[in-house]
Structure 1
Amino acid sequence: MGEISIKTEIPGPIARALLERKEKNVPAGPFNTVKTFAAKGEGALLTDVDGNTFIDFAGAIGTLNAGHCPPNVVKALQAQIHAYLHPCFHVMMYEPYIELAETLNRLVPGSHAKKTFFLSSGAEAVENAVKIARKFTGRKGIISFERGFHGRTYMAMSLTSKVRPYKYGFGPFAPETYKWPYPDYYRSGGLDPAELDEALLSSFETFFLNEVSPDDVAAVIMEPVQGEGGFIIPSKGFVQGVKKLCEQHGILFIADEIQTGFGRTGKMFAVEHFEVVPDIMTMSKSIAAGLPLSAVTGRAEIMDSAGIGEIGGTYGGSPLGCVAAIEVIQMIQNDGLLEQALKIGEAFQACFDVLSSRFGQIGQIRSLGAMCAIEFVQDKTGKRPNQPIVQEILRNAHQRGLVIMSAGLYGNVVRLLVPLVISDSQLDEGLGVLEDVIIQCCQNQQ
């Protein structure tokens, strides 16, 4: 017997009643992947209100590297609740904020002095990183990358690339924002990775002649691995080349580690794979096991450029989020979760590399640690995106008790963000369900 237990259709009767209430009371805008409602979460398992138990391969869009309700986190939260909930750091300070800042200052790459402050969401972290970069450099321009995602607030949305559903109809957007292309070696038109890197890096120098002077650019913000963009992984040479350009022109390099951080890729932060030290790093998602918390860490002299009262927020760095984050980081370090991320990626590759050779709809299998993706195409030669099969795979997987999500510019990528605490048997069971569903859907299209 496995862990998955499906007792009703999805959604079940209780979930259907809740869906009716949701439709009457909640706007249409917030999307929902699985059409049911959670009742209990533990580790890599989710049980809904109708008693159906799922294996969770989505991890709240990468928020739950430490899993649902980690016992040590729950215990720390219970103790904190009995002490104080929220005196607000801007009114009366509290030690967990300082302890977590000290911890991140040690963990974020670089031997230089660093400083950290806290907010509530990833988008807030991006907004404040931009504010600080502009304040420190005295420049206005911010460069992000095609297919990048940085959030839904106005500056973050301006830096985000995908039009639908994130930007359509919401303009005008923040000025002085620009986009650079980000390498997609699968769709490089026959160029090998080194050739594509060289072409893109050369084009960036031309960009400074055509679009904006480097003297007017405050920062380049980059996801070390693109998340919503489809888990596109650049080469070390490309990331280092971008950093070198930044250094040549006095531009700050911001690493957006909101989805890639806290062990997801087999290192604490994905940028470590590329041996690049960022000037500023933004973090959120898995930092606090699902509690709203984000962080901005940067070189001390950069972070101190904002004066008193110029950065912050009423709920930024809540005590509950801080104590949860301290426990999560200890879990990652003490429970071997970095090694577990690599094992998850290896199991994923072993399962689907074989399957890729059987079906023309499977375009590419890619992963960096436990950041895993399968890109689906109409055929391997033309590589035209195959979004309908992804939607069919998601529907069938959800009915079978596996929570998965899509990603990519064309919506043709199945992405996996498995909690790193998943057991071997749960991982095998989930991969087996996904394999069966993909085989069935590919055969249906033949």
Structure 2
Amino acid sequence: MQSPHIKTPLPGPKAQALLKRDALVTSPSYPRDYPFAMSHGKGTEVWDVDGNRFLDFAAGIAVCSTGHSHPSVVKAIKDAADEFIHISSDYWHERQTALAEKMNALSPMREPTMSFFCQSGTEAVEGSLKLARYVTGRPRFIGFIGGFHGRTMGSLSFTSSKYTQQKGFFPTMPGVTHVPYPNMYRPLFAGEDQGGAVLNYIENVLFKSNVPPSEVAAILIEPIQGEGGYLVPPEGFLQGLRDLCDRHGILLIFDEVQSGIGRTGKMFASEHFGVAPDIMSLAKGLGSGLPIGMVVAKKKIMEKWQRGAHGNTYGGNPLCCAAALATIDLVEKEFMANAAEVGTYFMNQLRDLQGRFSCIGHVRGKGLMLGMELVEDRNTKVPASKLTDAIITRAYHNGLLLLSCGQSTIRFMPPLMITKANVDEAVAILASSMDEAISR
């Protein structure tokens, strides 16, 4: 089933010409999955340079939270640009202070917060790590297998969703120990309480045999794991992690770069579990496409940073702050609730597909952060990696942009303003793409 909106073979002639030019001058390190060359977008729809129209259910890797070029965000950016485009973080401006105030009001930490501004998720994670090490005086950290936290050297030391991200860069920052992330579909431990088993492993194996808890500055975790497979932790696990940290004087860092700002139907994914972190990293959907990241921490922690301990030339850029303020306003007023409502509808549609396709082993997620894991056989749960890639490629040719995560999970992270009609169209294209990929 090729969408009537696809007018040319893919990639079309203009896209092919652009790809040839790009191959001569751009790093080959980018993990591009299929040859989509964008011309423009509006809401959930995007067009390539040949005039083909697609539904975008990747949203720039969960970045375009309010859709492409939302009028309120565009106006906020233009208004800011008319005033000034940049002032370094050595000085002050209204939008940066207003955004820090807004984050303080939104914070799931249940106490006053302070914010540090940067440009990306990996920088937000780096800042979180530096802050934790600075205020605790401790050298070690704990991360989770399957986590993705960025590609700069500090955050890369935690990233473990694919070995290719670390290959060729050893040694990264020392002192990071990885433990399993509880996976209810693929349990590593005996018994039903996978979260309890992971906590027991940290407390009674790791801390007693290898890692002195008194040397651990922080535990860094995604409250819903992204690149590792869109894994939702079992109830009680994050609270247990909070309790463990409190017992040992360890800081708890939540990486909400992908899951934050309304993505899961709440402003922050941690709110689903009622657990407050000490430090939180934000980026991606915060600026609706403009590059902005934030380290948000309890005030009593961040106020310990001394002058010059950390800095950033472009942090708090006025255009990015304007975009973030407009984004949060839209998310608060309507899109967060829409993500919850339409996300539930979407989840039910995917579960209906699961009844039709035996290769769908598990459907999971919250809000509009949904994953559909594909398997060779539901009994053995062998990951169907090649089929996953084939379906995503067929979906592209049929007019739907998707990305994968984990070993064989198709992830759905569309703009938070999508409609049920958008979901219906996407699911129809997905089903046809699955039929095509399976029959080949």
Classify the TM-score, shorter chain. Answer: over 0.9
Are positions 1:418 and 2:414 aligned together? Answer: yes
What RMSD over aligned residues (CA atoms) do the two structures have, in Å?
1.5
Are positions 1:144 and 2:143 aligned together? Answer: yes
User: What residue ranges of structure 1 are gaps of 5+ in the alignment?
Assistant: none
Write out per-residue CA displacement over residues 61-114 of structure 1, whole angstroms, 9 at most, x where no aligned residue. Answer: 000111111101101111111100002121x32110000000001111133121
- Aligned-pair identity (%): 38
Pick closer, same or farther for the CA change 1:403–1:255 going to 2, 3 Å. Answer: same
Q: Answer whether contact 2:146 2:162 (CA < 8 A) is retained.
A: no
Q: SS of the residue aligned with 1:307?
A: coil
Match of 1:365 among 357, 363, 368: 363
Is the deviation greater in 359-368 or in 137-146? 359-368
**Equivalents in 1 of 2:230, 2:269: separation in Å?**
12
Q: SS of the residue aligned with 1:253?
A: strand
Are positions 1:95 and 2:106 aligned together? Answer: no
Q: Answer whether contact 1:149 1:227 (CA < 8 A) is retained.
A: yes
Q: Answer whether contact 1:125 1:282 (CA < 8 A) is retained.
A: yes
Partner amino acid, structure 1, of 2:348: A
1:117 matched residue in structure 2:
116
Q: Answer whether contact 1:345 1:369 (CA < 8 A) is retained.
A: yes
Q: Answer whether contact 2:345 2:420 (CA < 8 A) is retained.
A: no
Write out per-residue CA displacement over residues 186-219 of structure 1, whole angstroms, 9 at most, x where no aligned residue. Answer: 11269554x2222221111121111211100000
Pick closer, same or farther for the CA change 1:182–1:4 going to 2, 3 Å. Answer: farther
**Equivalents in 2 of 1:106, 1:363: separation in Å?**
40
With normalisation by structure 1, the TM-score equals: 0.95
Is the deviation greater in 429-438 or in 378-387? 429-438
Offset at 1:379?
0.4
Are positions 1:156 and 2:155 aligned together? Answer: yes
Partner amino acid, structure 2, of 1:440: E
**Equivalents in 1 of 2:335, 2:410: separation in Å?**
23
Offset at 1:349?
2.1
1:347 matched residue in structure 2:
345
Partner amino acid, structure 2, of 1:392: A
**Equivalents in 2 of 1:84, 1:3: separation in Å?**
43
Q: Answer whether contact 1:236 1:273 (CA < 8 A) is retained.
A: no
Q: How many residues align?
A: 438
Q: SS of the residue aligned with 1:187?
A: coil
Pick closer, same or farther for the CA change 1:276–1:68 going to 2, 3 Å. Answer: same
Partner amino acid, structure 2, of 1:356: Q
2:86 matched residue in structure 1:
86
Offset at 1:438?
1.8
1:386 matched residue in structure 2:
384
**Equivalents in 2 of 1:109, 1:189: separation in Å?**
31
Write out per-residue CA displacement over residues 246-271 of structure 1, whole angstroms, 9 at most, x where no aligned residue. Answer: 00000000010000001110100000
**Equivalents in 2 of 1:39, 1:78: separation in Å?**
20
Write out per-residue CA displacement over residues 279-336 of structure 1, whole angstroms, 9 at most, x where no aligned residue. Answer: 00100000011000000111112112221111121111111100000000110112x2
Write the mapping of 1:25-174 to structure 2, written as runs, cut at 5 A.
25-90=25-90, 92-174=91-173
Offset at 1:396?
0.5
Q: Answer whether contact 1:4 1:54 (CA < 8 A) is retained.
A: no
**Equivalents in 2 of 1:67, 1:48: separation in Å?**
16
**Equivalents in 2 of 1:269, 1:19: separation in Å?**
37
Q: Answer whether contact 2:189 2:197 (CA < 8 A) is retained.
A: no
Q: Answer whether contact 2:346 2:423 (CA < 8 A) is retained.
A: no
Q: SS of the residue aligned with 2:163?
A: coil
Q: Answer whether contact 2:398 2:429 (CA < 8 A) is retained.
A: yes
Q: Answer whether contact 2:350 2:427 (CA < 8 A) is retained.
A: no
Pick closer, same or farther for the CA change 1:31–1:12 going to 2, 3 Å. Answer: same
Q: SS of the residue aligned with 1:236?
A: coil
**Equivalents in 2 of 1:98, 1:238: separation in Å?**
35
Q: SS of the residue aligned with 1:282?
A: strand
Pick closer, same or farther for the CA change 1:114–1:3 going to 2, 3 Å. Answer: farther
Pick closer, same or farther for the CA change 1:197–1:327 going to 2, 3 Å. Answer: same
Is the deviation greater in 96-105 or in 233-242? 233-242
Partner amino acid, structure 2, of 1:96: R
Offset at 1:351?
1.6
Q: Answer whether contact 1:34 1:403 (CA < 8 A) is retained.
A: no
Partner amino acid, structure 2, of 1:415: R
Offset at 1:339?
1.8
With normalisation by structure 2, the TM-score equals: 0.97
Write out per-residue CA displacement over residues 135-184 of structure 1, whole angstroms, 9 at most, x where no aligned residue. Answer: 11110111110100000000100011134321111111111111111111
Offset at 1:223?
0.1
**Equivalents in 2 of 1:182, 1:190: separation in Å?**
11
Is the deviation greater in 337-346 or in 384-393? 337-346
Write the mapping of 1:280-291 to structure 2, written as runs, cut at 5 A.
280-291=279-290
2:213 matched residue in structure 1:
214
Write out per-residue CA displacement over residues 321-376 of structure 1, whole angstroms, 9 at most, x where no aligned residue. Answer: 00000000110112x21221122322222222122233331111112111111101
Q: SS of the residue aligned with 1:143?
A: strand
1:433 matched residue in structure 2:
429
Is the deviation greater in 132-141 or in 344-353? 344-353
User: What residue ranges of structure 2 are gaps of 5+ in the alignment?
Assistant: none
**Equivalents in 1 of 2:383, 2:162: separation in Å?**
17
Q: Answer whether contact 1:3 1:426 (CA < 8 A) is retained.
A: no
**Equivalents in 1 of 2:164, 2:4: separation in Å?**
32
